[in-house]
């Protein structure tokens, strides 16, 4: 029963979800009074709000769920992604006319098996499968909340097998970015530099318009739609200022989009630029890579200034600081310089070798094969020693 006691006021009350709304009230001195009030609320809601048909089909449930998602202010991009996943993969597998209540955990397991088979053929990644399952889970959570279903089949589904392997990002170095720029010219080069100096998402860059460029105050308004913080203002660095000034030469008479076709219409894709870079340099790079590079450079800083993570988050257009932290993997040179602080503080020479049997004269280490396993120099090494075991278990 959703009856509880608030720690701050000491009052009893209830918290109840019904048809997408949250009903909360804590104003009673005893638990019995709160329970009675909760039963009265349930009766009132059932009388005033009609229960959705429990025989609803999958496609009808998806449509209702999308309307609910729109009502709770989910972003347009997220709504498009949900609709695309259901329409292209989930609904065709389960069939549109199937009753939502008839979909069991075994059916969902079969769907995952089918997607893992595509993963084996390298058609999709586990991240994609995880997105599909997340959308299915969200649909059933909504159905439980709306009291369309009483049991959530996702509870019996083992999702560990679709857990993506964690990969450490390897960022591009400034030298690699310069090499990528060297194979481009004209408007293509300026497009790459715009991404590099703004950290804009691909769709944000392709949607950028000249009215949002302020040369006087040296500011650029990025009108993103992915998150609440996507709409942001970026101050121009000298590199961005020069890039935009050069880009004015390619400005269409309509004066709308920064990057456009010959007729002035908006460019929707720029895959050829990144394919050209990869073919000529062997460096695999995307618009997302340049966004990573921007955040890495800004977050890492230099000897003169290193901005705080909040500033970096605002420049990236993130809602959550945790998202920004994922980007701050830093460049390799910066990581090396960071750990060398220990060497400078403790006066450790950087000439120490890690080879087997190498003697380091300045530290007085004794030569030995696999020195970290020698009892004389390191009695507590990782292997078990006879003195660490009971007498009856000593090794002979």
pLDDT at 169 over 70: no
Return the pLDDT at 333: 54
Q: 130 falls in which pLDDT band (50, 70, 90)?
A: very high
Look at 334 and 201; give whichever has higher pLDDT. Answer: 201
pLDDT at 289 over 80: yes
Task: Over range 97-122, report the average pLDDT.
Answer: 92
Return the pLDDT at 103: 93
pLDDT tens digit sequence for 219-275 = 888 887 666 557 788 888 888 899 999 999 988 887 789 998 888 888 888 889 999
Q: 110 falls in which pLDDT band (50, 70, 90)?
A: very high
Could you tell me the CA-to-CA distances from 395 to 279, 374, 381, 385, 387 in Å, in that order? 60, 18, 16, 8, 10
Instruction: Give the highest mean pLDDT range of 49-58, 67-76, 326-335.
Output: 67-76
Q: 321 falls in which pLDDT band (50, 70, 90)?
A: low
Look at 59 and 314; give whichever has higher pLDDT. Answer: 59
What pairing do the DSSP bridges indicate for beta strands 21-28 and 3-5? unpaired
Q: 354 falls in which pLDDT band (50, 70, 90)?
A: very low
Lowest-confidence segment of 191-205, 281-295, 357-371 by average pLDDT: 357-371
What does the alpha-carbon distance between residue 136 and residue 141 come to, in Å, rounded to a whole number?
Answer: 9
Write the DSSP symbol of residue 86.
Answer: I
What does the alpha-carbon distance between residue 207 and residue 187 come to, in Å, rounded to a whole number?
Answer: 15
Q: 348 falls in which pLDDT band (50, 70, 90)?
A: low
Return the pLDDT at 370: 46
Helix (H) or strand (E) holding 346: helix 332-346
List the beta bridge partners of residue 232. 222
Task: Over range 297-303, report the average pLDDT.
Answer: 71
Tokens of 226: 């992915």
Instruction: State phi, psi for 13 to the nearest 5 degrees.
Output: -175, -165
Task: Over range 21-43, report the average pLDDT.
Answer: 85
Return the pLDDT at 309: 67
Q: 384 falls in which pLDDT band (50, 70, 90)?
A: very low
What does the alpha-carbon distance between residue 239 and residue 241 come to, in Å, rounded to a whole number?
Answer: 5
Return the pLDDT at 226: 65
Which residue, 162, 166, 98, 167, is CA-closest to 135?
Answer: 162
pLDDT at 279 over 90: yes
What does the alpha-carbon distance between residue 171 and residue 169 come to, in Å, rounded to a whole number?
Answer: 6
Return the pLDDT at 353: 44
Task: Over range 45-54, report the average pLDDT.
Answer: 63
Q: 170 falls in which pLDDT band (50, 70, 90)?
A: low
pLDDT at 117 over 60: yes
Task: Over range 84-110, report the average pLDDT.
Answer: 93
Residues 342/348/352/354 CA torsion (nearest 10 deg)? -40
What does the alpha-carbon distance between residue 194 and residue 317 come to, in Å, rounded to a whole number?
Answer: 16
Q: Work out the mean pLDDT of the chain and round it to a whole number.
A: 78
User: Mapping DSSP to helix (H, G, I), strand (E, B) and coil, where does residue 13 land?
Assistant: strand
Tokens of 163: 């857990």
What does the alpha-carbon distance between residue 320 and residue 342 come to, in Å, rounded to a whole number?
Answer: 32
């Amino acid at each position: 029963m959703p009856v509880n006691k608030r720690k701050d006021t000491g009052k009893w009350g209830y918290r109840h979800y019904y048809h997408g709304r949250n009903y909360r009230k804590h104003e009673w001195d005893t638990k019995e009074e709160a329970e009675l009030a909760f039963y009265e609320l349930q009766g009132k809601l059932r009388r005033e709000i009609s229960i959705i048909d429990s025989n609803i089909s999958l496609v009808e449930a998806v449509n209702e769920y999308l309307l609910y998602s729109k009502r709770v202010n989910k972003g347009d991009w997220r709504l498009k992604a949900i609709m695309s996943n259901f329409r292209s993969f989930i609904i065709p597998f389960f069939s549109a006319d199937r009753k939502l209540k008839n979909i069991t955990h075994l059916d969902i397991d079969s769907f995952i098996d089918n997607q893992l088979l595509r993963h084996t053929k390298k058609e999709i990644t586990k991240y994609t499968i995880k997105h599909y399952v997340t959308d299915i889970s969200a649909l059933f959570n909504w159905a439980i909340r709306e009291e369309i279903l009483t049991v959530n089949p996702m509870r019996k589904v083992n999702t560990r097998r679709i857990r993506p392997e964690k990969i450490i990002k390897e960022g591009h170095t400034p030298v690699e970015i310069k090499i990528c720029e060297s194979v481009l010219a004209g408007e293509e080069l300026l497009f790459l530099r715009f991404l590099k100096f703004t950290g804009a998402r691909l769709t944000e860059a392709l949607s950028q318009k000249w009215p949002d460029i302020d040369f006087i105050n040296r500011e650029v308004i990025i009108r993103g739609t992915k998150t609440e913080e996507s709409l942001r203002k970026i101050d121009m660095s000298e590199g961005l200022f020069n890039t935009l000034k050069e880009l004015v030469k390619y400005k269409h008479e309509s004066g709308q989009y920064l990057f456009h076709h010959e007729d002035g219409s908006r460019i929707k894709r720029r895959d050829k630029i990144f394919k050209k870079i990869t073919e000529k340099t062997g460096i695999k790079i995307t618009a997302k890579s340049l966004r990573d590079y921007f955040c890495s450079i800004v977050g890492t800083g230099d000897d003169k200034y290193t901005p705080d993570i909040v500033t970096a988050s605002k420049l990236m257009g993130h809602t959550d600081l945790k998202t920004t932290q994922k980007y701050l993997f830093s460049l390799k040179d910066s990581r090396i310089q960071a750990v060398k602080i220990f060497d400078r503080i403790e006066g450790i020479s950087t000439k120490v070798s890690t080879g087997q049997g190498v003697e380091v004269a300045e530290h007085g280490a004794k030569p030995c094969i696999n020195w970290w396993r020698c009892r004389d120099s390191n009695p507590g090494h990782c292997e078990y020693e006879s003195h660490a075991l009971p007498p009856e278990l000593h090794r002979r």
